[in-house]
Amino acid sequence: MRSLVNLFLPPQAGRGERGMALVLTLACISFLVALTLQLMSRVDRQWSGAVAQQEEVRLDALVQGGLHMARAALAFDQYSNDFDSFFDPWNTLDAAKIQALAGEEAQLTVLVADMGGRLQVNALAGPRQELPGLGSGAVGSAGMREAKALQRYRGVWRRFLASGRFAISPEEIDPLLDALADWVDKDHNERPLGAEGGYYQTQEPAYAPRNAPIRFVEELLLVRGMTRALLYGDGEHEGIEPYITVLGSDGMLNPNTAPLPVLLALLPEMSEENGKDLQAFRSERENWEALASPDWLRQVRGLPADLGGNMPLLTVKSQYFVIQVAARRDQYQRVGTAFMERKKSGEQSLLLWRID
């Protein structure tokens, strides 16, 4: 300390000058301490950032590996059989083996969800205006079939929404369905209870309907009549989000993987017991071969006699899947989500891939 004080003193300095020099010395020491602490803090942040980046790269590699495993399971399933059910490899991935690939220091989970059993929002757009290679006046019987299929599909949606599970009243259902159809169709013609640009331009801020297929579920909150409580649920109701999809627009439904609320909406006369009987039948391994055709529904006791009429178009071959891969190590976590299309040719298209 004395040597530092002497730096600020002339050779013949008095007591006052020595006091001032002491103050300057203390100020200098305080400055150096503060500068050192700031430098240490910056180094610590850079070190933490480097560690976080290292962990992010490591976890991203695990997530990518999980995605490839799920895609391999989907490919093997398509090679093994011509229909999709919960017995397939994509739904029976061995969690212990997946974890073994991640090692002891990390956790890895891979989940594959079949969208074939969910209600398609984009199928509410209705029949096409023209068929490939034909003029608009040549639609004929094909257009009539599409119109009837849409009517049946909309009936499933109506029964689904009217089940009492969701935050929507009976009188709100048809206006919502019309608004959804107006949002995803290509024209600007407003349905009787729907909404087009004229309504959305009055909102604050103003915006325009997509008039094209919806790409993300969150976009539904922009549609007139859709609420957060209806989409995601509230304290008293479920949300519809786990039972719908923005993938696909053909209106086909796979009863092999449809969740219970969708099964209950297949026919007007369906009861809770009917739905549980359907779930029980498709869960029995001995019934696996029967699941190769939608006709297995006729084998379930107690179902309404008429399985035509109001039934939607059924299929047992699913086309769209959502893959979610989560990797975690200590306080670090990365989650990857993939929207997959699996074509009849065996080719897979990665429609969306994001890591959060």
Strands 320-329 and 313-314, bridge-based pairing? unpaired
What was the pLDDT predicted at 109?
A: 93
Q: Are 327 and 334 in contact (CB under 8 A)?
A: yes
Pair (188, 158) in one structural domain: yes
Per residue in 127-181, pLDDT (tens digit) is: 543 333 333 444 466 677 778 888 889 999 999 999 999 999 999 999 999 999 9
Q: DSSP states of 184-207 as a string?
A: HSSS-PPPTT---HHHHTTSSS--
What was the pLDDT predicted at 128?
A: 43
> Is 231's pLDDT higher than 80?
yes
Pair (75, 6) in one structural domain: no
Q: Are 246 and 223 in contact (CB under 8 A)?
A: no
User: Does residue 170 lie within any of the structural domains?
Assistant: yes
Per residue in 60-86, pLDDT (tens digit) is: 888 999 999 999 999 999 999 999 999
Percentage of the chain surpassing pLDDT 70?
79
What was the pLDDT predicted at 230?
A: 98
Contacts of 231 (CB under 8 A, 6+ apart): 217, 220, 221, 239, 240, 241
Q: How confident is the model at residue 93 (pLDDT cuts 50, 70, 90)?
A: very high
Pair (193, 302) in one structural domain: yes
Pair (182, 309) in one structural domain: yes
Residue of 334, 336, 322 lying closest to 90 (CA atoms): 322
Per residue in 248-272, pLDDT (tens digit) is: 999 999 999 999 999 999 988 889 9
Please state the domain count of the chain: 3
Over residues 301-330, the mean pLDDT reads: 84
What letters, b where the CB count within 10 A reaches 16 and e where it falls short, cover 238-261?
Answer: bbbeebbbbbbeebbbbbbbbeeb
Domain extent at residue 71: 62-115+320-355
Pair (203, 81) in one structural domain: no
What was the pLDDT predicted at 173?
A: 97
* HSE-up (13 A, CA, CB side) for residue 27: 7
CA–chain centroid gap for 98, Å, is: 22
User: Does residue 196 lie within any of the structural domains?
Assistant: yes
State the chain's mean pLDDT as an integer.
85
Pair (310, 179) in one structural domain: yes
Percentage of the chain surpassing pLDDT 90?
61
Question: Tell me, what amino acid is at 42?
Answer: R
Structure tokens at 250: 């053909």
Q: Where are the alpha helices (DSSP H) in the chain?
A: 2-6, 15-80, 95-102, 140-161, 170-184, 197-200, 228-232, 260-263, 272-283
User: Does residue 50 lie within any of the structural domains?
Assistant: no
User: Does residue 56 lie within any of the structural domains?
Assistant: no
Per residue in 263-305, pLDDT (tens digit) is: 999 988 889 999 999 999 999 999 999 999 999 998 888 877 6
User: Does residue 333 lie within any of the structural domains?
Assistant: yes
Pair (178, 283) in one structural domain: yes
> Is 336's pLDDT higher than 80?
yes
User: Does residue 46 lie within any of the structural domains?
Assistant: no
In CATH, what number is assigned to the domain containing residue 71?
3.30.1300.30
Question: Tell me, what amino acid is at 100?
Answer: A
Pair (218, 136) in one structural domain: yes
What was the pLDDT predicted at 189?
A: 92
Pair (307, 245) in one structural domain: yes
Pair (140, 259) in one structural domain: yes
Strands 313-314 and 252-253, bridge-based pairing? parallel
User: Does residue 53 lie within any of the structural domains?
Assistant: no
Distance (Å) of CA 335 to CA 44, 64, 81, 227, 342: 27, 10, 30, 27, 22
Per residue in 4-51, pLDDT (tens digit) is: 445 444 555 455 555 565 666 666 676 666 656 666 656 555 545 555
Pair (97, 149) in one structural domain: no
What was the pLDDT predicted at 37?
A: 64
Pair (258, 336) in one structural domain: no
* Backbone angles phi and psi of 323, in degrees to 5: -110, 130
CA–chain centroid gap for 283, Å, is: 25
What was the pLDDT predicted at 311?
A: 73
Higher per-residue confidence, 41 vs 87: 87
End-to-end CA distance of the chain: 54
User: Does residue 51 lie within any of the structural domains?
Assistant: no
Residue of 319, 314, 287, 252 lying closest to 87 (CA atoms): 287
